[in-house]
Every structure is written in structure tokens, then in C-alpha cells.
């Protein structure tokens, strides 16, 4: 894995999901206009959300494989049945998506089920496939599939790692029709409210809100010109529907905003009605009548160069909310300073904010300390932001057991990216990020300008997503920095990144006895101890048959573990025991060879005799 | 749990994709020191109303500074009286627009590729929004409603039935009942089709290999047009037939590794040659020698081009267009080689006349001057043409403009190689274009460059273009009064009346009269002119209207006519003629 000394334990919350959805929306629309959107995107790669992102993305796409065989390999096939409501489903489009090719817009192998619900996808070259139906209104009939979130564009799926000439049978998909919630949003005068976002939240049995389930691939549900919305493909369960924004600590339209209102007409979460959705049924008339728009305030001020007091134009501002515990932390703004250095952030609701120069997107040479602003009933003006010039990080990339030229030939366009973060002390103070990157020059050197001081983390980015070298050691001024870099206002030079790149393969199987892993998400993680403290590794998810493969592994001795995590969303009303632990296995990987491992897992309950 | 490297790879892929889309956003965030720029800011005010003149409260209004990639948009919302005010605007020119869900701006519809409606700080305007039309329907296939299929609409005729070229494409997706709904559509005629969604193109759909099905259940050639007027709600169901199309594939060569931090991926577009509409665009597979492919194409003739934006230099590399014909089989093995486009650098020279003092906003003049470069497709029977580089269909009629910096320097980047007409406009009252020259400012060179075109080849960087703007422009306002057979909104021409004045095309002016016959010609060089009104020549959709500065034939004809009509007007430096009466008289054959 990449060097991320500041890596935090996975944060798996509504936030992360929301970002994912925004991310996909925006990529889809190709409409990344505002700085705010950009900020959000960059935040996705910030470490706070990194792990969550990875997990969510893995919900869509599991393992990916890498190398291309020179010889035309023998093809194989995958077959199975599609069941809808436990009955064979005819004329359903089934596709084998090549998980390598998914990134590459490769053609999809697809077929239709016959009258028995049987499908047979033949002529498949060896690769990692996802078997899925093109049925966005369907959801998985039972949990334990490999797509825990009913990934929004395919209702359900199974992954198959197909070997050359192999015929894999009985890859069945069991589906049910998802539920539908529809209604109309009107204002106090009974006029329809058009293009207003509608939120739907899955509520678990114990009443806790669960991460939002993106029900359809595409934008967040929005009302049309008649104020009508329709959300389909919902897994059975209880839901809460809402429209509008929080009354404090949010940024909306300068023309005001609709206060967060739950169905039927509750502004208080505890008075929201829960909506029961059952498979295949439509719940209609989930109408919400909103009160008049509440007014918003503005924050205005000036950005000046701290060195000479001159106004700075074209500087984008960041805005974050000082949050009370348990509240979402962030908001965005696209406010930019004008020719005289002045800025106005309009559409702000009451609350405590930090205003600062937005560096999250790496687009600014300046940064600033956050200025705390309290917004009450009045507009806030006269906020002065002193802009400081960002610092730089420079150094050299040193390949391990490889010539630099060879590395740069194999991995063209290799870049070093840096992220820094400061603040975020846990007491409601937001975290301020900055990002930057530099191409690795032919002599191995790199220089990343415009960074905000703080803790920094470096990573590598190759143009080819399937060829990512790994940082295995970072030194600054000859001293190892396993705990991460501290960046001050002084430029940091002499950073050395030792990089591993290889063509080894680890593959194998996971065999389960005495139970099922359906409540967990299994992953094989192989890591290598370099020196004492710098682990580097990679992992893969076993497929429908327990097969897995990890490609592009640098030579070395690895410790491979079977790791289990919880599947999501939280199971309804059941308590899932903590995942069991398994001992690791040690293997050696060399370039161009495949190393096999087998995990035999016995889940037979202990102390309970037959 | 460690994040698996494979998932990281996917993430990286997503980030790379995002990064390639982000250069525009990134340029917004670039800082610039305001030390050298004007500190005064201004305000644009106005009103948003509906077609009956009632205020539209809550409409969003935005003002973008044109020609400034890092300009921030000024945004506000119309109040209960429909009024808005956008302040803090730096000197410059702005495009102002209003939007409200379900409504469409009439003003936006006048936006064309080679002219923009613009405003200055200090201006006030009224924006009329009309209730757009709705087209709704259901997409069904052999097995019933199709869920999640893309439905597209494009406007092919305007409200008066005039044919449009490759209009904007709207996209919706069917819901679980197969239902789609477009709203806020401008009056006109639309064609509608169902096809794979383009929204979220990195993801496959069940329709990827299919050719589009046009409303009602047709090919592009037999597609029915749907007429939509203000506020109409029209139902249009599509019966989809899943027919496989063909693929076009190849690779992109000579991709730049950039030099800046962000390396943007190349993108490839495919156009339908017959209607010049872009059908699809895609990216390359970096792991497979920059291969690309398009699927689901019906038989026909297409053009492919590849482009790569380099955020470090702002350069846009382009490939030569490549034509392909699909006849019942896939087309493979296409190579699109990226190369630099042309560039032109120049300088604005401002000639101040201290005796005159009528030139407004002297300090911000460079930032208010749009220097246009326009090229036009030669008429079908033009014979020899100056085109030296093959030009993409999307650039045969091409117009772009730049705005100079505070010191008057301007540069056109990324021009498709060809011959360009240089035409400055947009500057404030009291200024006129005296000359456009290349190299030394000789009268002969001046006349030639304004009359003819500047030719540049791909990869060429032309420097030393000089545009001289002088103080002392006159203004002529008046009205074309109804004569016999007066056509609607005739064109008013102002033509040099001096002997050999016809040499200097910069002294030919034209403007289309308003519906009430009033006209306004600003920024006119002082001198003696003929004035004449002519019916507006309705051109077809592909060819832009012929301009008197561009077309020597039009110039000769109108001048000849004006000389026979003998309606003179003399404009002294800085003179403002505000009530000129021009009786319309039909041309006698």
C-alpha cells in the first residue's frame, strides 16, 4: 500500500457515501465548475475519507487484475440462473463485466436468460469478471452477496476469477423488485418546488439512521418541474424522507433555503414518520409541504498578502463549520476574491465557521490560518484574511532493486502527490487540507509547490491505474520518517522516497467450513515489513468461489492474512459477532512468478458440540 | 484493515478521470496579484420578468466576465420585484444570464458562436424568461418498459421553423416505469432518441452496443420532429428496438506527457458528417497503447478527432480529422496523431487624442476589447481555397476571441490552422479601430490585413499583430422609417464615401435595425459616409450571414447601390448623431 503515515481507521459513515455519490454524479455530468465541487472531490482523496472510499468503491468493483498475456489464451465460460422472487426469470440481460476492462470502456459480454432463467456467457478470456444484471429497479433478495450496497447501477452481482479455459457454473443471482417511494414537494402557497433535492435515509430496526443507500445510479433524487420525485430500486426496509437544509452551519442559496423537513411535515427528526418499503411495492403520496424559505446571511472581507499588505485577486475561499459532536463537519463555497481582494460568501446559515484560503484542491499558491466567524442574525463583514505563501516539498524517487530509467520507462508519467492537513483536533475544530503534486523528472527529482504547513503524506500516482509503484520508505535529510512528515513554513528538501515496483503474483483460495462468511466481508491482505516500521502491502477480495489474485507485487517476503470486516448496511435487528481472527501465512514473491496460498477457515462454533 | 491496492487502483483511475475533467475548475483557483489592476469595481443591475412582464422572484442571475478563465462569476437571486444587483465587478465585459427551473431565457437563444451579448459594470438590463415546453413519454422495448435508458432531445429548428445546426443536447434517464420528462425546453422542433446513457460513461449499460432508436421508432433519417411551443406539454413515446451497431476503434498517438502537475488524458470525439453533431466522446486506455473505441454506431459517415489539453501551458493539442465510413462492419486501426495548433500574438495600441476627450474608460479599454478571430467555410463553389491544414467539421466555421491584458497584449492559442479575419469589438464609446497590421504599420499592410485574412498553419506561432484603436469615434443613432415594401428589421450599412475609401474595410459598418426601425452604430471612424438600408439576407443554417467586412462581393454590391442612392452622412470626431432619419426605399433592379 502507499505510504500514508497519517492513515486513520476506516471512517464509514454517511459522509463518505455522500461524497462517493457526489463524485460519481460529477464525473458523469462532466460539470465540475465550482471550486466547491472541486474541494469535495479533493476531499475524497484526503485521508479522512480514503479508506471509506476504498470500501465503497469495492462495493462496486471488487478485485482487479493486471497483466496481459502475449499468447492468445483459451477462453472459458460462466453460467448460472437468475431468479426474481425465487422464480426463474426469463429475458433478463446478464453481463460479464471485465473488471480490468471496466476502466477501459471495453465491450461488455452480455446475453439474455432463457425461459428457465439460465444464462451462459461463453468465449470469455481469463480475467476477473463481475456477473451482473442490467436491472436498476432490482435489489438483492438476500444479503451476503459481494455487492453489499446493492451497487446502484447493478442491483446485485457476483465476482468470478476465471482461469484460462475454465467453465464456471452455478453463479446464480437472486433478485427481488426494489420498492418505490414517490411524492410531491410544495411550498407554503401549494406551488410545486422544482429541482429540489430529496434525501432518503435507511433506518435500521433500532431506529438508527444508516448510511444512505444510493438507489439509482445517477444524481440525487430531485423534484421535476411539477415538484414530483420518484425513488426506485429501494431494498426493503424502513426509510425517512426529507427535503431542505439544516438551519445552522450550512451554505445554501443567497435567496434563502428551505429548512430541513422530514415527511410528513416535521422539522424535528424525532417526529419524522418512518416509511415501510416492501419489495416490489410503491409507496406514493409521500408529499412534503415546506415552509417559506429562511433567510441566509453573508460573510464578506478581504484577502491581503501577509508580506506586503496588497490585495490578492482570484483567491478561492474555503469555509468550514465548527461542529458540535455528531454533526457533519464540512461545507463548501465557490467564493473567490475580486480585483480588490474582497470576497463575499453568500447564502450562509447561522453557525460558527472557519473562513480560510481554500487549498484543498491544490490550486492556490497561498494559504491562510482559519479566521473564526460567528454568523447570527446579521451579515458579517470586514473579515481580513492574511495570505501566506505555501511552502514546497522536494526530493528524489529511488527505486528499490531497479534502475530509475527502467522504472520511469515501465511507469510513464509517474507523479508524486502530497497532502497536508492541519487542525482537526477532535474538539470541533475542522481539518484544513492542502494538496499538490509533481511529475518525477528523468533524474528522479520532484518539487511540489504551494503546500500548507501541517502533517504531510506523500504518495505515488502513475498514469496507468494498473501500474502503481509503492512507496516503501521515506527519509527526510537522511532520517527515516515512518510517522509522517511535518511541514513547516520552511521549504522541505532532500526527501527520499524508496519505491518498489514488481510483477509478482499472489493467488489462492479461501475455503470456509462450518459456517458462512455472509455477515462479513473477507479480504486477503499481504504486507511486507520493510525495515522495522514501514509495512507495505496489497490485498484482494475473494470471488464467489473463494478465489483471489493479487498482481503487480514487488519482490519480497510477505505476510498474508485473511481479514474480515462487517458487511453493510447494518443487518436488520441482528447482532453480528465480532469477526474471528486467523493466523497469517508467510510467503516469498519474486518477479514474474505466481505464489499460491490457501486459507482454510473453520467457523464451527466452539464449545458447542453436535 | 488495509485498503487493498486493487481498490486503490480503481480510485486512482477515478481520480485520473476526474483530474482530466478538472482543468477548468483548477484555473479558477489560480491566484493573481491585483497590484497592477484597476481597483474600481462596478455593479450590473436589472430585472427578471416573464413573457407578460411580471417579475420572476427567485430566478438565479449570474454574471461571468468573458475571456477571463479565472474570473469569478457574480451570482445573485432576483428579489420579489424581480430585481437583481451584482456588485464587486472588475472592469471588463460580462455575459449575464438568468435561470429558473422550467423556464428558458430568450436572451440565451441569441447566443451564437461568433457573437455574444455582453454588458459592462454600470449597465442595467431586463431579462425575459418564458415558460419552457415539456416533452414526456415512455420508452418500451420488446419486453416492456426500459428502465434506466438514456433519452436525448436536441432542438433542430427554432421557434420560427429555421433549421439549426447541431444544437444543444439534453439528456434524461427513464425511471422504473420507463418514463422520462424534459422540461424548460425552448420553443422549436426537437428530435428525440433513446440510447445508452452518456451520463457516467465509464460504466457499461445494457444498451452500449445498440444503435439509437429515434422517436417514434425510427432511424435518424426517419425520425419525426416534435414541435414544442411555450408552455406546451407533449407526449412522445419511443418504441425501442435493440439493434447492434458497429464499432470504430484505434489509438491516439503523440500524446504529451505534459510538464505541469496534471496530465490530462486525451479525449476523442466522433461526429456525424451529415448533421455535424457530436455523437459520442470517449477517452483512451492508458494501459493499452492509448487505444480507444466507440460502439453502437449505425452505418454512415463519421469524422473522428482527438484532443489533449495541457494544463501546464494551456495548450490544446489536436489531431487532424479523420473520416470513416461504416458499412455493415466494424472499423479498426485508426491512428489519431496529436499535434500543436496555431497561435497568434498581438498588441493593442491605444491612440489618445488629448484635444478630443470623448474616449470613455480609457484605463480599462484593453480589458474591454474583444479581439475576434473568425474563419468561415468557403462556399461550396469557391474554387481555390486557402485552407492548408485539414479542418475538423466542428471548426470549419470557427470564431473565438481573446481579451488583452492590462498592457494590451493578447494571444490566441489553440487556433485550428487556417485563415482568420481579425475583428476587434466591444470597446467603449469614443474609440474606433483605425488599423490592423502585421509588422510595420504601413498603410498598404494595414489595408491588406483588415481586408484579407491572417493565415496560420498548425504548429505555427505568428507574432507581431498590431491593432490600433483611436480616440474620436462618432456615434450614429436613428431610425429606418417605413417606406414602400419595408422588410422586417433591415440591415443599415455605413460605407466610406471618399475616393479609394473602399480599400479600408474597417470603415464599413453594418447593424441590424430593431423591430421598431431604430438602429445604433457605435465606434465609427470620423469621415464621410454613404448610408443605406437593405433587407436582411436570411442565410442557411450552416453558413453564417455574409458580413460586409468579410465578403468583397457584398461590399461592392452595397457600395454600388449606396453610391446610386446618394444618402450621405458626415461624422466629425466624437460627434453623436442621435436622431438620423433613414427612409427605406426598395432597391430598384
Distance CA B299, CA B277 (A): 15
Confidence of residue A606 (pLDDT cuts 50, 70, 90): low
- The pLDDT value given to residue A112: 92
- The pLDDT value given to residue B245: 92
Whether residue A93 and residue B38 make contact (CB cut-off 8 A), yes or no, is: no
Burial A533-556 (b: 16+ CB within 10 A, else e): ebbbbbbbbbbbbbbbbbbbbbbb
The one-character DSSP state at B369 is -
Residue with cell 415558460: B131
- The pLDDT value given to residue B52: 92
| A83-95: average pLDDT | 92
Whether residue A2 and residue B8 make contact (CB cut-off 8 A), yes or no, is: yes
pLDDT tens by residue, B39-77: 467 899 999 999 899 999 888 898 888 876 555 567 788
- The pLDDT value given to residue A572: 47
pLDDT tens by residue, B119-173: 888 899 999 999 999 999 999 998 899 998 999 999 988 888 888 776 678 999 9
- In Å, how far are A418, A467, A489, A537 from A47, measured between CA atoms? 11, 21, 22, 17
Nearest chain A CA: its distance from B298 CA (Å) = 16
Average per-residue pLDDT in chain A? Answer: 75
DSSP β-bridge partners for residue B128: B49
CB under 8 Å to B397, separation ≥6 — which residues? Answer: B113, B114, B375, B376, B377, B542, B543, B544
| CB of A172 closer than 8 Å to CB of A204 | no
Confidence of residue A189 (pLDDT cuts 50, 70, 90): confident
CB < 8 Å from A in window 534-563 of B: none
* Count of positions (residues) in chain A: 610
- The pLDDT value given to residue A543: 86
| CB of A135 closer than 8 Å to CB of B147 | yes
Q: Using CB atoms within 10 A of its CB, is residue A610 exposed (0-12), middle (13-18) or buried (19+)?
A: exposed
Size of interface A-B (CB pairs under 8 A): 292
Q: Is B122 on the interface with A (CB under 8 A)?
A: no
User: Which range has the top average pLDDT, A66-70, A295-299, B231-235, B264-268?
Assistant: B231-235
Whether residue A54 and residue B287 make contact (CB cut-off 8 A), yes or no, is: no
User: Which range has the top average pLDDT, A254-268, B168-182, B253-267?
Assistant: B168-182
Whether residue A465 and residue B37 make contact (CB cut-off 8 A), yes or no, is: no
- The pLDDT value given to residue A145: 43
User: Which grid cell sits at B136?
Assistant: 414526456
| A223-232: average pLDDT | 94
What is the separation of C-alpha B367 from the centre of its chain, rounded to a whole number of angstroms?
20
Whether residue B39 and residue A340 make contact (CB cut-off 8 A), yes or no, is: yes
Confidence of residue B586 (pLDDT cuts 50, 70, 90): low
Average per-residue pLDDT in chain B? Answer: 82
Q: Between B195 and A208, name the one with better pLDDT.
A: B195
Residues of B in contact with A305 (CB under 8 A): 33
Q: Is B111 on the interface with A (CB under 8 A)?
A: no
- Of the listed ranges A524-533, B534-543, B561-570, the least confidently predicted one is B534-543
- Of the listed ranges A29-43, A592-606, B358-372, the least confidently predicted one is A29-43
> β-pairing, B527-534 with B568-571?
antiparallel
Residues of B in contact with A41 (CB under 8 A): 18, 22
Residues of B in contact with A57 (CB under 8 A): 7, 10-11, 14
User: Which range has the top average pLDDT, B287-296, B342-351, B375-384?
Assistant: B342-351
- The pLDDT value given to residue B337: 96
Residues of B in contact with A23 (CB under 8 A): 14, 18
Q: Is the pLDDT of residue A395 over 80?
A: yes
Residue with cell 470513416: B324
CB under 8 Å to A607, separation ≥6 — which residues? Answer: none
Distance CA A164, CA A74 (A): 5
What is the separation of C-alpha A93 from the centre of its chain, rounded to a whole number of angstroms?
28
Instruction: Name the closest residue on chain A to residue B8, using Cα atoms.
Output: A54
CB under 8 Å to B277, separation ≥6 — which residues? Answer: B154, B166, B169, B271
Q: For the whole model, what pTM was predicted?
A: 0.80
- The pLDDT value given to residue A147: 43
User: Which grid cell sits at A374?
Assistant: 460567528
Nearest chain B CA: its distance from A271 CA (Å) = 30
Confidence of residue A519 (pLDDT cuts 50, 70, 90): low
Among candidates A10, A335, A365 on the partner chain, residue whose Cβ is nearest the Cβ of B1: A10
pLDDT tens by residue, B433-488: 998 887 655 555 555 666 777 888 999 999 989 999 999 999 999 999 876 677 88
CB < 8 Å from A in window 23-52 of B: 24-35, 37-39, 41
| CB of B228 closer than 8 Å to CB of B135 | yes
pLDDT tens by residue, A107-131: 668 899 999 999 999 999 888 888 8
Among candidates B9, B148, B184 on the partner chain, residue whose Cβ is nearest the Cβ of A136: B148
Residues of A in contact with B26 (CB under 8 A): 38, 361-363
Rounded percentage of chain A residues whose pLDDT exceeds 70: 70
Strand intervals (E) in A167-313: 167-168, 173-177, 179-186, 198-203, 228-234, 237-243, 261-262, 275-277, 282-283, 288-289, 297-305, 312-313
pLDDT tens by residue, B194-248: 998 886 545 677 888 899 999 999 998 899 999 998 888 999 999 999 898 999 9
| B387-403: average pLDDT | 80
Whether residue A365 and residue B204 make contact (CB cut-off 8 A), yes or no, is: no
DSSP per-residue letters across B81-136: TSEEEEEEEPSS-EEEEEE-TTEEEHHHHT-BTTB---B-TT-EEEEEEEEPEEEE
- In Å, how far are A190, A244, A248, A456, B203 from A294, measured between CA atoms? 17, 10, 11, 41, 39
- Of the listed ranges A5-9, A216-220, B442-446, B571-575, the least confidently predicted one is A5-9
| CB of A304 closer than 8 Å to CB of A386 | yes
Nearest chain B CA: its distance from A270 CA (Å) = 31
Q: Is B170 on the interface with A (CB under 8 A)?
A: no
SS3 helix, strand, coil % of chain A, rounded to 5?
Answer: 10, 45, 45
Whether residue A439 and residue B261 make contact (CB cut-off 8 A), yes or no, is: yes
- The pLDDT value given to residue A473: 84
CB under 8 Å to A376, separation ≥6 — which residues? Answer: A297, A350
Sign of CA dihedral A184, A177, A109, A102: positive
- The pLDDT value given to residue B21: 34
- Of the listed ranges B43-47, B69-73, B336-340, B343-347, the least confidently predicted one is B69-73
Q: Is the pLDDT of residue A81 over 80?
A: yes
- In Å, how far are A171, B17, B195, B204, B577 from A108, measured between CA atoms? 18, 20, 16, 7, 69
Q: Is the pLDDT of residue B8 over 80?
A: no
Cis check: omega of the bond before A365, within 30 degrees of 0: no
| A516-524: average pLDDT | 72
| B530-536: average pLDDT | 89
| CB of B364 closer than 8 Å to CB of B92 | yes
Which residue from B198, B323, B310, B317 is spatially nearest to B261, judged by alpha carbons? B310
Whether residue A194 and residue B72 make contact (CB cut-off 8 A), yes or no, is: no
User: Which grid cell sits at A400?
Assistant: 528499490
Q: How many CB atoms lie within 10 A of CB A20?
A: 24
Rounded percentage of chain B residues whose pLDDT exceeds 70: 82
CB < 8 Å from A in window 281-340 of B: 282-283, 285-288, 291-293, 295
Rounded percentage of chain A residues whose pLDDT exceeds 90: 24
Confidence of residue A465 (pLDDT cuts 50, 70, 90): low
- The pLDDT value given to residue A2: 32
Amino acid at each position: 500500500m502507499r505510504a500514508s503515515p497519517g492513515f486513520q481507521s476506516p471512517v464509514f459513515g454517511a459522509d463518505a457515501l455522500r461524497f462517493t455519490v457526489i463524485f460519481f454524479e460529477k464525473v458523469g455530468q462532466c460539470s465540475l465548475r465550482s471550486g466547491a465541487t472541486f474541494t469535495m472531490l479533493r476531499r475524497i482523496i484526503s485521508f479522512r475519507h480514503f479508506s471509506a472510499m476504498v470500501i465503497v468503491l469495492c462495493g462496486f468493483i471488487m478485485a482487479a487484475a493486471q497483466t496481459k498475456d502475449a499468447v492468445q489464451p483459451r477462453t472459458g465460460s460462466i453460467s448460472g440462473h437468475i431468479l426474481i422472487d425465487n422464480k426463474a426469470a426469463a429475458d433478463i440481460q446478464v453481463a460479464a463485466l471485465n473488471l480490468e476492462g471496466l476502466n477501459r470502456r471495453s465491450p461488455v459480454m452480455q446475453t439474455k436468460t432463457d425461459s428457465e432463467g439460465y444464462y451462459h456467457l461463453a468465449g470469455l478470456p481469463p480475467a476477473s469478471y463481475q456477473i451482473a444484471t442490467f436491472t436498476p429497479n432490482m435489489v438483492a433478495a438476500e444479503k451476503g452477496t459481494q455487492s453489499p450496497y446493492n451497487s446502484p447501477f447493478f442491483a446485485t452481482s457476483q465476482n468470478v476469477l476465471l482461469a484460462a479455459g475454465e467453465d464456471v457454473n452455478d453463479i446464480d443471482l437472486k433478485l427481488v423488485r426494489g420498492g418505490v417511494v414517490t411524492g410531491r414537494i410544495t411550498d407554503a402557497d401549494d406551488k410545486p418546488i422544482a429541482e429540489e433535492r430529496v434525501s432518503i435515509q435507511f433506518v435500521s430496526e433500532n431506529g438508527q439512521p444508516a448510511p444512505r443507500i444510493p438507489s439509482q445510479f445517477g444524481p440525487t433524487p430531485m423534484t421535476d418541474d411539477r415538484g414530483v420525485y420518484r425513488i426506485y430500486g429501494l431494498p426493503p426496509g424502513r426509510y425517512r424522507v426529507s427535503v431542505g437544509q439544516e438551519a445552522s452551519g450550512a451554505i445554501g442559496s443567497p435567496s434563502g433555503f428551505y429548512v430541513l423537513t422530514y415527511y410528513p411535515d416535521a422539522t424535528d427528526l424525532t417526529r419524522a414518520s418512518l416509511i415501510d418499503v416492501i419489495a416490489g411495492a410503491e409507496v406514493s403520496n409521500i408529499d412534503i409541504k415546506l415552509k417559506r424559505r429562511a433567510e441566509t446571511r453573508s460573510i464578506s472581507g478581504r484577502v491581503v498578502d501577509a508580506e506586503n499588505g496588497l490585495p490578492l485577486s482570484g483567491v478561492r475561499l474555503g469555509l468550514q463549520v465548527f461542529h458540535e459532536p455528531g454533526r457533519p463537519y464540512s461545507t463548501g463555497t465557490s467564493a473567490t476574491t475580486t480585483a480588490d481582494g474582497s470576497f463575499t460568501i453568500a447564502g450562509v446559515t447561522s453557525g460558527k465557521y472557519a473562513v480560510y484560503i481554500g487549498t484543498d484542491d491544490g490550486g492556490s499558491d497561498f494559504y491562510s490560518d482559519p479566521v473564526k466567524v460567528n454568523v447570527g442574525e446579521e451579515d458579517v463583514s470586514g473579515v481580513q484574511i492574511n495570505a501566506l505563501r505555501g511552502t514546497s516539498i522536494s526530493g528524489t524517487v529511488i527505486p528499490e532493486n531497479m534502475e530509475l530509467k527502467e522504472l520511469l520507462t515501465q511507469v510513464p508519467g509517474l507523479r508524486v502527490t502530497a497532502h497536508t492537513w492541519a487542525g482537526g483536533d477532535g474538539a470541533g475544530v475542522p481539518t484544513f487540507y492542502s494538496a499538490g503534486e509533481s511529475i518525477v523528472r528523468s533524474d528522479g527529482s520532484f518539487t511540489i509547490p504551494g503546500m500548507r504547513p501541517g502533517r504531510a503524506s506523500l504518495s505515488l500516482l502513475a498514469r496507468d491505474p494498473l501500474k502503481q509503484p509503492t512507496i516503501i520508505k521515506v527519509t527526510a535529510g537522511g532520517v527515516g520518517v515512518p510517522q509522517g512528515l511535518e511541514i513547516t513554513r520552511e521549504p522541505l528538501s532532500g526527501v527520499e522516497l524508496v519505491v518498489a515496483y514488481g510483477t509478482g503474483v499472489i493467488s489462492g483460495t479461501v475455503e470456509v467450513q462450518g459456517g458462512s462468511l455472509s455477515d462479513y466481508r473477507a479480504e486477503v491482505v499481504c504486507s511486507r515489513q520493510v525495515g522495522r516500521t514501514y509495512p507495505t502491502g496489497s490485498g484482494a477480495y475473494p470471488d464467489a468461489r473463494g478465489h483471489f489474485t493479487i498482481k503487480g507485487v514487488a519482490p519480497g517476503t510477505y505476510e498474508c492474512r485473511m481479514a474480515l470486516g462487517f458487511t453493510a448496511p447494518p443487518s436488520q435487528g441482528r447482532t453480528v459477532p465480532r469477526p474471528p481472527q486467523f493466523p497469517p501465512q508467510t510467503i516469498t514473491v519474486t518477479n514474474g512468478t505466481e505464489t499460491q496460498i490457501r486459507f482454510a477457515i473453520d467457523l464451527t462454533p466452539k464449545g458447542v458440540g453436535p | 484493515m488495509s485498503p487493498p491496492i486493487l481498490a486503490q487502483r480503481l480510485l486512482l483511475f477515478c481520480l485520473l478521470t476526474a483530474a482530466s475533467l478538472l482543468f477548468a475548475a483548477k484555473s479558477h483557483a489560480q491566484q493573481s496579484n491585483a497590484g497592477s489592476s484597476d481597483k474600481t469595481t462596478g455593479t450590473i443591475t436589472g430585472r427578471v420578468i416573464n413573457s407578460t412582464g411580471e417579475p420572476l422572484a427567485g430566478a438565479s442571475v449570474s454574471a461571468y466576465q468573458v475571456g477571463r478563465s479565472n474570473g469569478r462569476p457574480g451570482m445573485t437571486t432576483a428579489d420579489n420585484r424581480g430585481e437583481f444587483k451584482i456588485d464587486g465587478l472588475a472592469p471588463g465585459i460580462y455575459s449575464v444570464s438568468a435561470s429558473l427551473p422550467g423556464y428558458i431565457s430568450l436572451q440565451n437563444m441569441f447566443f451564437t458562436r461568433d457573437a455574444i451579448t455582453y454588458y459592462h459594470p454600470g449597465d442595467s438590463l431586463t431579462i425575459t424568461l418564458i415558460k419552457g415546453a415539456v416533452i414526456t413519454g415512455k420508452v418500451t422495448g420488446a419486453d416492456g418498459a426500459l428502465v434506466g435508458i438514456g433519452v436525448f432531445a436536441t432542438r433542430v429548428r427554432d421557434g420560427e421553423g429555421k433549421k439549426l445546426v447541431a444544437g444543444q443536447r439534453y439528456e434524461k434517464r427513464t425511471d422504473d416505469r420507463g418514463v422520462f420528462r424534459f422540461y424548460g425546453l425552448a420553443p422549436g422542433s426537437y428530435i428525440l432518441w433513446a440510447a445508452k446513457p452518456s451520463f457516467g460513461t465509464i460504466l457499461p449499460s445494457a444498451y452500449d452496443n445498440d444503435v439509437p432508436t429515434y422517436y417514434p421508432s425510427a432511424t435518424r433519417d426517419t425520425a419525426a420532429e416534435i414541435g414544442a411551443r411555450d408552455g406546451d406539454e407533449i407526449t412522445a413515446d419511443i418504441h425501442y428496438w435493440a439493434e447492434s451497431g458497429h464499432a470504430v476503434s484505434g489509438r491516439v498517438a503523440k500524446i504529451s506527457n505534459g510538464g505541469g502537475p496534471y496530465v490530462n488524458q486525451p479525449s476523442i470525439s466522433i461526429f456525424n458528417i451529415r448533421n455535424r453533431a457530436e455523437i459520442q466522446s470517449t477517452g483512451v486506455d492508458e494501459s493499452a497503447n492509448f487505444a480507444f473505441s466507440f460502439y453502437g454506431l449505425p452505418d454512415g459517415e463519421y469524422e473522428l478527432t482527438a484532443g489533449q489539453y495541457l494544463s501546464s501551458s494551456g495548450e490544446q493539442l489536436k489531431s487532424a480529422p479523420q473520416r470513416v465510413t461504416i458499412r455493415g462492419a466494424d472499423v479498426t486501426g485508426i491512428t489519431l496523431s496529436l499535434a500543436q495548433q496555431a497561435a497568434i500574438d498581438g498588441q493593442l495600441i491605444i491612440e489618445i487624442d488629448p484635444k478630443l476627450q470623448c474616449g470613455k474608460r480609457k484605463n480599462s479599454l484593453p480589458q474591454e476589447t474583444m479581439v475576434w478571430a473568425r474563419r468561415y467555410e468557403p462556399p461550396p463553389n469557391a474554387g481555390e481555397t486557402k485552407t492548408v491544414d485539414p479542418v475538423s467539421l466542428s471548426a470549419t466555421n470557427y470564431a473565438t476571441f481573446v481579451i488583452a491584458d492590462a498592457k494590451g497584449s493578447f494571444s490566441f492559442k489553440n487556433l485550428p490552422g487556417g485563415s482568420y479575419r481579425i475583428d476587434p469589438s466591444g470597446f467603449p464609446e469614443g474609440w474606433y479601430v483605425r488599423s490592423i497590421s502585421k509588422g510595420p504599420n504601413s498603410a498598404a499592410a494595414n489595408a491588406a490585413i483588415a481586408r484579407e485574412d491572417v493565415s496560420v498553419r498548425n504548429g505555427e506561432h505568428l507574432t507581431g499583430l498590431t491593432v490600433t484603436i483611436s480616440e474620436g469615434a462618432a456615434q450614429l443613432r436613428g431610425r429606418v422609417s417605413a417606406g414602400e415594401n419595408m422588410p422586417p428589421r433591415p440591415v443599415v450599412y455605413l460605407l466610406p464615401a471618399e475616393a479609394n475609401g473602399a480599400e479600408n474595410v474597417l470603415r464599413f459598418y453594418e447593424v441590424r435595425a430593431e423591430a421598431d426601425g431604430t438602429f445604433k452604430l457605435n465606434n465609427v471612424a470620423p469621415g464621410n459616409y454613404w448610408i443605406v438600408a437593405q433587407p436582411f439576407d436570411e442565410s442557411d443554417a450552416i453558413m453564417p450571414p455574409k458580413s460586409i467586412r468579410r465578403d468583397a462581393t457584398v461590399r461592392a454590391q452595397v457600395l454600388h447601390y449606396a453610391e446610386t442612392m446618394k444618402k450621405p452622412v458626415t461624422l466629425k470626431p466624437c460627434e453623436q448623431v442621435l436622431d438620423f432619419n433613414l427612409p427605406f426605399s426598395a432597391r430598384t433592379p
